[in-house]
Structure 1
Amino acid sequence: MAEPAIKEHIQVLCIDDDEIVLRTLQRLLVSYHLSVKTALAPNEGLKLLDTHTFDVIICDMRMPHMDGADFFAQTLDIAPDVHRVLLTGYADIDSTISAVNKGKIHAYIQKPWQNELLIRTVNDGIEKTALKRKNKQLEKQIKAQNNQLKELNNNLEQMVEKRTQQIRKVLKQLEEANEREKHEHRTTFEILYNFINANPYLDGIQAQNIASTSKQIAESIGLDQKHINMAEMAGYLAQIGLLAMEPALYKTPTHELPENQKKIFYTHPSTAQLMLMPATHLHDVSEAIYHQFEHYNGTGIPKGLKGKDIPITAMILAVARDFWQAVDNVTVQGNKFESALDQLQLYSGTYYHPKLLEALASLKITCASNQQVGSMKILSADELKNGMVLGHALRNYDGIMLLPKGHIFGAKSIAKLQQLEAKKPNPFRIMIKN
């Protein structure tokens, strides 16, 4: 389809069957640096509207064949946004009313006109027409942007749903394959943590730090062993829901995300709960992860729970998570741990339970120094040695399987992986059995 021809833009169109009047109008408007086209008859004016755009049309009321009211009525479909000014040489209220009703005029001026009033009316009309055009452009732009955002949200939601289903399927298969061990939390937990640690955009060390601090807080406030274990596992798996999402949502700092993507990011605890549903023995851990963004004063998400209604392990996880995030963000000189704790203390009694912050302040905090949890360790291709056994199938950055679970590394496979790794911005994170 051919693009429509671009019309020449002129500010004012003047129509009058009196040539002297037209020349007088033209001289006046040009003297004020306005661009002008003229027509001796309404039909000529309609033809000009086919090839030009105008901000203002000035038209005489009394003309042969077609009066100003009928002319303006015909322009409504051709140029609805133009500012319409009627010139009348008669004190005829009926003709003016007709022009208002039929032609939707915006102003009328009697002949002989006052130059100042006419110029003021024209300038006002030019300004209003320009605003209308600008509004239409903005509306069109906003509509296009909204459509793009809607499409992006749909794509992200579909991707999250697809990956959630995939991870739930894997988890279900693990549960079925390890039926005799389904009540041994540690086995399933180690497998899930290794999924997180193998992701190049998620921080396994950070997860270890959060888990260790969660466990220490739980011990410090006197929880039983079951809840201490739950708090530690919730710390390790707090990011599990992000595995179902596009890396763009979590490899960028959350505060830098657009608002629509930020909302999707904060659904990762809900996604985690869906993913962990087949592992019924991890129900309490998934509840802690699901409620990790609740606030002590009831202003959090997803349920707006308050005080004792929030699972204690969820409140512990929130303190440990935000403490280590604050440690990462500290830029001032001095003790990073003290600075991070000071930041959290600002929200004591609002975001966080005061007693949990007291417990955190009493701890001796240390950073995790390795990437090994339970039965697996994580290595890059450069760290591989002959005879090592692959704990989980290794895939490339596009999801294509490179080596199966149980592969025993030799010189050839190590060299090939090192060659592939050299071409990528991030090293492989290879799960090796201890």
Structure 2
Amino acid sequence: MNQKTLTQRDKNIIWHPYTQMKRWSEAIGIVKAKDAILYAEDGKQYIDAGSSWWVTLHGHSNTHIAKRISEQLTTMEHCIFAGFTHEPAVELAERLLPILPGDMARIFYSDNGSTAVEVALKMAHQYHQNKNEKQKTKIVAIEGAYHGDTFGAMSVSARSLFTEQFNAMLFDVSFIPFPSKANEGKALGELENILKQGNVSSFIVEPLVQGSGGMRMYSPETLEKLFLLCKKYDCLVIADEVMTGFGRTGTLFACNQLKDAKPDIVCLSKGLTGGTLPMGITACTAEIFDAFLSDDAHKTLYHGHSFTANPIGCAAALASLELLLSDDCQKNIQRIVAKHCEAKQQLSSHPKAKDVRQTGTILAVEIDTGETDYLNNKRDFIYQYFLNKGLLMRPLGNIIYLLPPYCISDEQLDYAYQSMEELLEIFNTQ
């Protein structure tokens, strides 16, 4: 038996994501996870207040999902998805299509959020090309966006710390201002000016909340106006619901909060399998799918992944969806929303809370530290402060946020709110 700890064994062989390995050379070893708690090898416990990068809907080691995965493992673990199909993939599509926003008619399976976006961009571009609308090649996105780390996804994301080493390799995208209440008119005006040129294929957006961009939030009314403008100029709308999907904004999907406007393509991942397995989905309307039906092989969507529609992942997604749609889970979501609303009022009164914002189960506090960029020199202090408190909360620069699993208890939430308030007080006394 290896006598070294996980942290020691990891140190010289693993390269961790979003991590400057010289500064953070030691990773915390986790040996068990259950519900909202991560258990470390040194005996410490951490409340997973960010759902392990926003994926764990129902908490860790959920027995219902585990049972469905186990059953699927002994039935069929994988099957090529080109020319073949299987029950979990068909059933998941049957269950998802009726509840997705818009008039979704087809499901395309992939591996993660970035690839779900890549598929959407390729679908939208080739849709126009297949219709002989050769001039429609431009993509529009929102300033501050984050859609993933593959090259297409980076191209439609903000030019930032995440992309700067690769900017010269990214394709050109037009960005409109973030549509805050103060900026709505400018954002709509710039979008229409771009659309009027007649060469825009698609508009991609994180509906209601920009996640990695700082948990920036805007209204359903503004989103509706953006979508309707796109419809006016025959521009496809891609809703990147990778983070906002599956109840995070208080409704099943963020676009459910729109009255009339609908997306043409929806991207899903993260909470899709309840955080148990990697999977991505790109859903589209019948109109988009039909543009690829042809005797001409050149009009085929040539995209796929080795693990497309993996049966185990589909089984996990079905189990997670059953839990999500249950009365108990929906009550938990509304309970968290109500708790967040109360906490927002309390935290907003603190002099060091520059801004407190909340949408659904997402609560974010922008701390007045004098700096606002991702590499804010207080970021590491904030992260370590929460770890010392037994809270896993990875700040976005000077922005702290709660995006918890739906099984989190009121006591755990109250502890997180109290810890956030105590952190604000530390900055107030410095």
TM-score bin (small chain):
under 0.3
More helix by share: 1
TM-score normalized with structure 1 length? 0.22
TM-score normalized with structure 2 length? 0.22
- Report which structure shows greater RCO (CA 8 Å, sep ≥6): 2
**Bigger radius of gyration, 1 or 2?**
1
